[in-house]
Amino acid sequence: LTAPEVLERAAPSVIRLEATLPDGPAIGIGFAVSGTRIATHLDLIEGASRVTGRLADGSRIQVRRVVALDEARRLIVLDTEGARLRPLRIGADETLVPGATLYALGDPQGQRTQVLEGSFRGRRRSAKQPLELLETSAKLTPGWTGAPLLDERGRVVGVATQTLASQAFGLGIPSRALQ
């Protein structure tokens, strides 16, 4: 699939999350993994008293509870109780080869879902997260935290993790952590 095709197919499954934290608001991305559940990066909402989401069509949803948490990988799955989300398919990150095209979908400015295209550069470990991470040439700035990383068939192969704005690459948590 091309970047516009991935955007068209997957945008309805991407949710802009807004969290109310003790030190102020936080904004990031999540994506539907079932009809009522959203996966995202834990750093985005850890300690939040309230989390809401905005879908691509502009409608708002309320997050009700945490249904799964993996502190080591910094992933969380949230339940919206009653939302009708369109889930993305989870792919196998193990099949990625260097040079494979990756797409990140997100809404960091809160205007509309965008797509970033990059290539898979390999696997790495970081001091902040000693587990294996996926490296992409797409520059994933902090507003992309929690965004799905999709392969050329539109399947989730990773979840964008926090990176420094000065880095010339992006990092993602492998999709196998969602299973």
- Give the predicted TM-score (pTM) of the model: 0.91
Residuewise pLDDT in 10s, the chain (179 residues): 899 999 999 999 999 999 999 999 988 899 999 999 999 999 888 899 999 999 988 899 999 999 999 998 889 999 997 789 999 999 999 999 999 999 999 877 767 888 999 999 999 876 665 688 999 998 887 778 899 999 999 999 999 986 666 677 888 999 999 88
The angle formed by the CA atoms of residues 95, 99 and 101, to the nearest 5 degrees, is 75
Query: Read out DSSP for 120-162?
Result: EEEEEE-SS--SEEEEESS---GGGTTPEEE-TTS-EEEEE--
